[in-house]
Structure 1
Amino acid sequence: MSATALVVGSIVGTGVFTMPAVMAGAGTSSLLVLAVISAGALLLGVLFGQLTKRVPNSDGGVYAYARHEFGDFAGYLTAWCYWITAWAGNAAIVSSWVLYVESLFGIENPSAWTNLGIALVGLWIPAVVNLIGVKQTAWVQNVTVVLKFVPLILVGVVGWFFVEAANFGPFNASGGSLYDGISIAAGVALFSFIGVECAAIAAGRVKNPERNVGRASVLGTAASALLYLLVTAAVMGLVSHSALVDNGAPFVDAFQTMFGDAAWVGKVVAATAVISGLGALNGWTLVTAEMPWAAAKDDLFPPQFAKTNHDGAPWFGIVVSTVLASALMGFAYSGNTGLTVFTYLVSLSVVTVAIPYFFAACAQLAYLVSRRRKVAGWALARDLTIVVASALFSLWVAAAAGYAAVYQTMIALLIGIPIYAFLKARRERLGTIPQPRDAGAPLEPPAVELIDDPPANVPDTPAALTDDTSGATR
């Protein structure tokens, strides 16, 4: 249950409270895109469950899968990209969370410094909770999941009795081609499902991971997908299209349609979004540290990331990741505010997470087409379908994020390669991996085991080194 709550809590954050406004900008076609993304996320949940069953050491999830199948460098690149996704995603979550904090406390026309101050509070409260220990993190996760689901289910079920067909906008409201509208919806939809892999990443802390990781991934993703579809469509039908586009707190308007314009309605909705965001940030703060912690244990991340406190929390990774997310928030708010900051951070997170997803799919593909797996007819066809669909899904969401996001992700990925060079050199010096032999380098003599006394039955004359039949020296 805690693993499922971690998945749901990491998926359903403040993104669901902002998603209808972004989707409205794409049009009602975004609901179809959301359904396709939901199916892709479910396939990924099944894929992670299959990989966890066969990879001996699954700590780190997608990192462990890539390293097991393709070696250290692939494992490192996966860990590096996913680590960027985690702390950049925290920045995106908190940028949406800020909008509801402002609505809760009636802060109007806030300055960039006010936005940044609220964001830092949202980033560091979950960091403190995680530093206390994993058990406390799981407890907070379970509580916030329950609290956030009650009002969301209220909108997704009761809200449909207040829906008006006239509120739904055009099929394509992007102002461009249908593909432009699909791209707008795909980015925020996939971002809203990032977290399907959280149970796999924390597999080392999950009881019976071979059984529970797959179940938690699928159950958590299915529950989140159903909730997303019901709630997003309901909000689009409760609030007029013109009022919904670029609305930083669309759920406030949706609840006011249902219960009137009383002030308490907006406060309840804003408080729910704030609690939901803290729950998501709580789970993601754990994930930002788990990935580099698992890689650091294998000497594929700086060794400081393997440090834990007396409660077993990877404190160094938590602190560094939160510092980087805080710096990214400062950079984002230096030039933009509101939904612009949110969509920018979403695009960056989507591309960086698509790379680890693609590595995981290819790792399973290599296993299926190799001779390690006995061909099993329909079961093989089923698993190949899951793998191919997952790989294509990962490629599509990366392409849909746009050229700017892909460009920035490529720069971030390239920055990580020199860091790997230093890590590899360190491992060679320590003797944990063999050194590559360069052209023209002398061959190292083979290791010789020295013994104190030779066996008594071995003569030390040259005759012992001759062949019995030909007399040739051996």
Structure 2
Amino acid sequence: MVLPLSEAMPVAARTTAGKMGRWMAVSLVVGNMIGSGIFLLPAALAPLGWNSALGWVLTIAGGLCLAATFAWLARAMPVAGGPYAYSAAAFGPLTAFLVTWSYWISLWIGNAAIAVAGVSYLGAFVPGLAAMQGGDALAAVVMIWALTLLNLRGARSAGGFQLVTTLIKIVPLVLVLALAGMALGSGEASLPPLPGLGEAGGLQAGLVTAAATLTLWALLGLESATVPADSIADPERNVPFATLVGTAITGLLYLVTCSAIILLMPVEVVANSAAPFADFVARFWAPGPALAIAGFAAISCIGALNGWILVQAELPWAMARDGTFPRWFAATNSAGVPARALVVSSALMTVVMLLNFQSSAAEIFGFLLLIATCTSLFMYLVCMAAALVLRFNGSLASRRWLPPVAALAVLYSAWTIYGAGGEAVAWGLVLLALGLPAFYLFAALARGAADPR
């Protein structure tokens, strides 16, 4: 059954007091996308040279297609739940539940990975932390609950913290841009010549595709403002604005900073670096910035974790209000925060950390990141397809250029799933399959609550 837009989600009861403003919403998108990966990504991309820059262009183009389609959907349905609301309106509650269920699981699993990365960077300031057995996991749990308490104070408190940490985390990116500009202007460094297409060591379609696959993960989170739409003032305008502007800002920063590091330094130096940003700053400014870069990276992870904790609580709350998740999750506290959903999600993150108590930070991060990223790709595909379905059944307002953009977004989403690899796709399918019995179990519980006989 396809739900009319007016019935896809109930109207929110939150007041405008305490909601995030436009630039807080932008910082939510930017802050959730800029996490720990940017500080290590140049090392992975370095062997690809100019191909990495073209890979970024391809990824950013695909990301902007996704962002434009999400903005289109958000303007028509400025309600909490974002992806759940869109897929429910187009494909009905079962499909919406399966996609959102797996996406929600990926969030609290992925958040655990972000917490581990943040603690790893903080280890530069607390050397004994990594040496203590299980120290990384325990410190990550403390970080998770500190940010959970912050989010319980309300969306505006979390949004203010997000804005501050986002401004701080872009400092090293801006510094790299400034140093690159000065190095090029003074002649201290120069860009290598653009190689020919298809020649050995030059531009090759396969290498561009490889770069685009690697860079894709850096743009996950562009949908962040669509999920807590009820917590954003004037969501019909601010959510689309934040989605498009946040994606564009992040994509541009990624493109120029990563390309500067890769193209202005020797390939072997970047490829073998454990801290490419620190090495770049040391080369073109002053030695010994590693500790400062570690601090910025830790703040970057903390800010991203704060934003994702805010987002992850909204999904079960939205589903609970729509009747496909236990109604217990629909309760909010005096600040309008879905407190039960927030606490349960953070508790699940804690369980993930404790289950990995004996593992190293690298082992935890690698495994959890694989699970966390795969389900976002399925969600993107369904939401992009939902936009086309809703447009052609007359539910979405006509925009001449948006249907072709949404079609490109569908193709891009399908390509990203193909490029993710068999293991990632398998995990995504497992999470989707686990949602099927959960959907019918929750439906039976809802019927039982309605009929106490």
Structure 2 counterpart of 1:358, from 381, 397, 401: 381
Shift of 1:88: 2.4
1:324 and 1:26 mapped to 2: Cα distance? 38
Shift of 1:184: 5.7
Amino acid at match of 1:408: W
In the other structure, the counterpart of 1:452 is: none
Alpha-carbon displacement from aligned partner over 1:140-189 (angstroms, at most 9, x marks no partner): 11111222222221112323444756999x999xx9xx788567644542
1:52-67 map, 5 Å:
52-55=74-77, 58-67=79-88
In the other structure, the counterpart of 2:45 is: 23
In the other structure, the counterpart of 2:15 is: none
In the other structure, the counterpart of 2:56 is: 34
Amino acid at match of 2:423: A
1:399-418 map, 5 Å:
399-418=418-437
Shift of 1:117: 3.0
Alpha-carbon displacement from aligned partner over 1:215-237 (angstroms, at most 9, x marks no partner): 11111111111111111112224
2:315 is the alignment partner of 1:294: no
1:28-427 map, 5 Å:
28-55=50-77, 58-106=79-127, 110=131, 113-162=134-183, 164=189, 185-237=211-263, 239-245=265-271, 247-262=273-288, 265-331=289-355, 334-335=358-359, 337-338=361-362, 341-371=364-394, 379-380=399-400, 382-427=401-446
Alpha-carbon displacement from aligned partner over 1:406-429 (angstroms, at most 9, x marks no partner): 112211221121111111223334
Shift of 1:51: 0.9
Q: Is the 8 A contact 2:97 2:439 kept in 1?
A: yes
1:187 and 1:107 mapped to 2: Cα distance? 36
Alpha-carbon displacement from aligned partner over 1:61-90 (angstroms, at most 9, x marks no partner): 111000112111112112112212321221
Shift of 1:287: 0.5
Taking a change above 3 Å as real, the CA distance of residues 422 and 108 of structure 1, as seen in their structure-2 partners, is closer
Taking a change above 3 Å as real, the CA distance of residues 250 and 191 of structure 1, as seen in their structure-2 partners, is same
Amino acid at match of 1:370: N
Q: CA RMSD in A?
A: 3.1
In the other structure, the counterpart of 1:446 is: none
Q: Is the 8 A contact 2:58 2:212 kept in 1?
A: no
Shift of 1:58: 2.3
Amino acid at match of 1:364: A
Bigger radius of gyration among the two: 1
1:276 and 1:241 mapped to 2: Cα distance? 26
1:165 and 1:149 mapped to 2: Cα distance? 24
Taking a change above 3 Å as real, the CA distance of residues 298 and 321 of structure 1, as seen in their structure-2 partners, is same
2:328 and 2:212 mapped to 1: Cα distance? 36
2:191 and 2:211 mapped to 1: Cα distance? 21
2:306 and 2:353 mapped to 1: Cα distance? 17
1:46 and 1:341 mapped to 2: Cα distance? 34
In the other structure, the counterpart of 1:441 is: none
Amino acid at match of 1:323: A
Shift of 1:361: 1.0
Shift of 1:285: 0.5
1:184 and 1:429 mapped to 2: Cα distance? 51
2:31 is the alignment partner of 1:9: yes
Taking a change above 3 Å as real, the CA distance of residues 180 and 108 of structure 1, as seen in their structure-2 partners, is farther
Shift of 1:254: 2.0
Q: Is the 8 A contact 1:37 1:190 kept in 2?
A: yes
1:141 and 1:355 mapped to 2: Cα distance? 27
Amino acid at match of 1:58: V
| Structure 2: stretches of 5+ with no match in the other structure | 1-22
Q: Is the 8 A contact 1:333 1:341 kept in 2?
A: no
Q: Is the 8 A contact 1:188 1:346 kept in 2?
A: no
Percent identity for Structure 1 against Structure 2: 32
Amino acid at match of 1:399: Y
Taking a change above 3 Å as real, the CA distance of residues 105 and 235 of structure 1, as seen in their structure-2 partners, is farther
Q: Is the 8 A contact 2:225 2:243 kept in 1?
A: yes
Shift of 1:334: 4.3
2:269 and 2:434 mapped to 1: Cα distance? 42
Amino acid at match of 2:406: V
Alpha-carbon displacement from aligned partner over 1:98-155 (angstroms, at most 9, x marks no partner): 3322234456974662332333333333222112222210111111122222222111
Amino acid at match of 1:4: V
3-state SS in 1 of match to 2:324: coil
Alpha-carbon displacement from aligned partner over 1:316-373 (angstroms, at most 9, x marks no partner): 22222223333334555745543x6444433322220011111111111112223556
1:410 and 1:349 mapped to 2: Cα distance? 12
Equivalenced residues, count: 421
Shift of 1:295: 0.8
3-state SS in 2 of match to 1:38: helix
1:292 and 1:275 mapped to 2: Cα distance? 27
State TM-score, norm by structure 2. 0.83
Amino acid at match of 1:363: A
Taking a change above 3 Å as real, the CA distance of residues 373 and 198 of structure 1, as seen in their structure-2 partners, is closer
2:144 and 2:268 mapped to 1: Cα distance? 32
| Structure 1: stretches of 5+ with no match in the other structure | 433-474
In the other structure, the counterpart of 1:436 is: none
In the other structure, the counterpart of 2:9 is: none
Amino acid at match of 2:111: N
2:207 and 2:144 mapped to 1: Cα distance? 32
Shift of 1:389: 0.9
Taking a change above 3 Å as real, the CA distance of residues 33 and 323 of structure 1, as seen in their structure-2 partners, is farther
1:125 and 1:240 mapped to 2: Cα distance? 41
Taking a change above 3 Å as real, the CA distance of residues 259 and 32 of structure 1, as seen in their structure-2 partners, is same
3-state SS in 1 of match to 2:352: helix
Amino acid at match of 2:435: G
Taking a change above 3 Å as real, the CA distance of residues 373 and 356 of structure 1, as seen in their structure-2 partners, is closer
